[in-house]
């Protein structure tokens, strides 16, 4: 049996971790939106947390260079160990965006847009849950319902910011910063993709117009080339009999 590697572990654990992330999403949503402490929901959250801890430990154990992997993945350790960063475990759901590969088609730009828009929707929902979790029980907060939190997340990630709802806690403001940075990245990628599509479309139309304008000239050149080829063939055919007659005369003279 081949030894387990970090890559093979990641392939095997992708589906279980995605399922754990879905369970966490459902449990965390119920806990935050209902603002209740259900024992069953809490158990589900802790079980999914344990799955992420096991995944982190196995990845660290299988890493070829453990020290380097540990330094480069400190954010994974923070997500696993710090309770305040618990909402960031929703980022595990990014593996679900592989389904959007079929929607994007074969074009790289299509896949990129599908991934980005899917990630933006997931980030908006996760941000709404995270800020509601941080704000709903805080005195003086204006983010006390999921509808308000979702509206705030959408206006924040699109960098609009109507100021009708805003976080007042430190954790809520950290969530806001993450959404702002994510929103700028999403808008930048979408804008670049649209600009690339426009440039490509204009280039294709320009090339088509040039080909259409040059088509008559190309046909005329092809016609003249064919005529030159025919004339050349005719001249060569005429020279061959002439060369044959000269040779016959010379032979006759020699015989005389």
Question: Is the Cβ–Cβ distance between 112 and 160 less than 8 Å?
Answer: no
Question: Is the Cβ–Cβ distance between 45 and 129 less than 8 Å?
Answer: no
What share of the chain has pLDDT > 70, as a percent? 77
Q: What is the C-alpha separation between 244 and 71, in angstroms, rounded?
A: 90
* pLDDT tens readout for residues 166-176: 888 888 888 88
Question: Is the Cβ–Cβ distance between 139 and 206 less than 8 Å?
Answer: no
The angle subtended at Cα 151 by Cα 99 and Cα 195, nearest 5°, is 55
* pLDDT tens readout for residues 200-211: 777 777 776 666
Structure confidence at residue 256 (pLDDT): 43
Q: What is the C-alpha separation between 133 and 84, in angstroms, rounded?
A: 10
What share of the chain has pLDDT > 90, as a percent? 2
Phi then psi for 201, rounded to 5 degrees?
A: -65, -45
Q: Strand, coil or helix: what is 42? A: helix
Specify the higher pLDDT residue, 76 or 69: 69
Structure-block tokens of residue 28: 């965390």
Whole-prediction pTM: 0.62
- Burial class of residue 87 in the structure, from the number of CB atoms within 10 Å of its CB (0-12 exposed, 13-18 middle, 19+ buried): buried
| Confidence band for 117, pLDDT divided at 50, 70 and 90 | confident
């Amino acid at each position: 049996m081949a030894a387990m590697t970090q890559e093979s572990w990641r392939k095997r654990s992708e589906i279980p971790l995605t399922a754990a992330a879905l369970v966490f999403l459902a449990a965390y949503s119920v806990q935050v939106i209902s603002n209740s402490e259900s024992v069953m929901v809490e158990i589900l959250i802790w079980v999914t947390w344990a799955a992420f801890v096991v995944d982190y430990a196995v990845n660290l154990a299988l890493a070829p260079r453990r020290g380097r992997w540990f330094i480069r993945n400190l954010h994974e350790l923070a997500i696993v160990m710090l309770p305040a960063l618990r909402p960031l475990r929703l980022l595990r759901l990014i593996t679900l965006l592989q389904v959007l590969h079929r929607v994007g088609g074969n074009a790289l730009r299509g896949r990129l847009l599908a991934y980005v828009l899917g990630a933006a929707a997931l980030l908006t929902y996760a941000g709404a849950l995270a800020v509601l979790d941080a704000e709903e029980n805080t005195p003086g907060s204006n983010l006390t319902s999921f509808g308000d939190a979702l509206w705030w997340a959408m206006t924040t990630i699109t960098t609009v910011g109507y100021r009708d709802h805003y976080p007042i806690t430190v954790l809520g403001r950290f969530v806001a910063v993450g959404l702002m940075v994510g929103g700028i990245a999403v808008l930048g990628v979408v804008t670049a993709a649209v600009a690339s599509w426009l440039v490509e479309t204009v280039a294709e139309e320009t090339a088509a117009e040039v080909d259409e304008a040059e088509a008559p000239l190309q046909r005329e050149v092809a016609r003249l080339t064919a005529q030159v080829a025919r004339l050349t063939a005719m001249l060569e055919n005429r020279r061959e009999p002439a060369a044959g007659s000269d040779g016959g005369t010379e032979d006759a003279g020699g015989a005389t």
